[in-house]
Amino acid sequence: MSTPVLLAIGVGGILLLLLLIIRLKLNAFLALLIVSIIVGLAAGLPLATVPATEDTPEKLGVVPAIVAGLGSTVGSIAILITLGAMLGRIIELSGGASSLAGRFTEILGPKRVGAALTGAALVLAIPVFFDVGFIILVPIVYGFAQAAGLKPLRFGLPVAGIMLAVHVSVPPHPGVVGGAALLGADIGWLTIVGILIAIPLAFVSHLLSKRLTRREFDMLASTEEMFEQAGRGGVQTTVTGTVTSTIAPPSAGMVLTLIVTPLIMIGIGTTAATVLPSGDPVRNIAQFIGAPLFALLVTVLLAIYFLGVRRKWGRDKISDVLESALPPTAAIILVSGAGGAFARVLTESGIGSALSSVLLQTGLPVLVLAFVVSLALRAAQGSATVAILTTAGLLTDTVANGGFSMLQIVAITLAIAFGALGLSHVNDSGFWVVTRYLGLSVGDGLRTWTVLTTVLGVCGFALVAVFWGIATAVG
């Protein structure tokens, strides 16, 4: 199928998806599945999987591609979202979120809480994947918002923005590390420059989010219910909200310790993977301890003990609290999985490859080309990590034969990374995680989250261009 036809199908699929969700108010999960099938068939995916031969790779059928995309996405986020929701629910109903929010507000003052939280998110995002870190911080975002009398969007949007910026540009995150390996970029310099660029981006995320959230956005009913439950933590309550006792909420220090615990564990694992050789027993143990699933599981068990058992929660109470965390997460997991299914169809159909091939023929300077191709691939297939790795693969020969210095290769790698930061929209599972936790409709998500990620990507690229100039000058 010709490139123009593939590109037209991709654009048409996204427009149809927006029409179904925004105009016709169709459930996002159903809309994503429907459009995935239509795009797959229109782009020529077979009805059933075609086995690989000596000359051709395996070609997934429409439905197998959807199942594979949904399964891989759900498999990577379902456990983390569920454990994160359980941790957040325990913190909420123990009064911990309100306690921590009140303490921070008391120390910093209401006007500085948002900036402080955004700065903290930058640091916490270095060792932790975007979705894991954001999910861990959601209870605190809710608590701060309750204390300030605001909607969680005001605090959560800049936090999510800077965490994603760090995720795409700072090792040890997989996309930028994989891109560096393909292009031969130095990890040490990549880490230093990536962090230096992320610092001003934190200010951009904070200030732009304040501007984007000046108007009032209606909160989704499911998110509003979770948010209201977060505000009932001043006293001990049952799941139904009935007051059963007046036990004082846990201290802010205890809650902060529980939140930082999985981040420290994950940081240990990623640090060991960076500094220790493969196969080292210490590295293996550290990576096991630092696996996000294990780190969150341990933290949930600690929260059950310190916030529940030690504060006189009975077995039935603990069971009810954990069970109550599950229903709100189901919609987030399923919609995120459907977003992954749509992204897989776009990839399998060749729409992403068609777009990149067009851009490679434009003759743009290598730094601009790196950013534009990555941005286009991000918009076309949704995954920032895939966009980084694909773009790096496409530019490997160009970089290898270009006579670039070590610092220039670092700049090219970061240009690719910040291209993958922008244009997060309906085919990105992260879009659904952020918008659902912050209570945004699809339209409002495009007006806020998509705009924020794109501006952060462009600003990041502008700073990379400055670094490129410096690197070129010093040789």
Q: In this predicted model, which residue has the larger pLDDT, 10 or 197?
A: 197
Residue the block writes with tokens 């996002």: 28
pLDDT tens digit sequence for 308-345:
898 888 889 999 888 887 876 777 677 767 877 877 88
Partners of 245 in beta bridges: 236
Q: What is the pLDDT of residue 414?
A: 97
Largest Cα separation within the chain, whole Å, is 71
SS3 content of the chain, % helix, strand, coil (to 5): 75, 0, 20
Angle between the N-to-C axes of helices 130-148 and 252-275, in degrees from 0 to 180, rounded to the nearest 10 = 160
Does the pLDDT at position 246 exceed 80?
A: no
Residue the block writes with tokens 């075609």: 50
Number of C-beta neighbours around residue 278 at 10 A: 7
49 confidence band (pLDDT: 50, 70, 90): confident
Three-state DSSP state, 424: coil
This prediction's pTM: 0.67
Mean pLDDT of the chain: 83
Kindly state the DSSP code that residue 133 receives in the 8-state scheme: H
Number of C-beta neighbours around residue 386 at 10 A: 20
Number of C-beta neighbours around residue 241 at 10 A: 10
With a pLDDT cut of 70, the percent of the chain lying above it is 90
Helices (H), 126-251: 130-148, 153-169, 174-183, 187-212, 221-230
pLDDT tens digit sequence for 345-385:
877 888 767 766 776 677 788 899 999 988 988 887 777 87
pLDDT tens digit sequence for 77-117:
678 768 877 887 787 778 776 676 667 667 767 678 788 88
Residue the block writes with tokens 């459009």: 35
pLDDT tens digit sequence for 135-188:
778 888 888 888 778 889 999 999 999 999 998 998 767 788 778 887 888 877
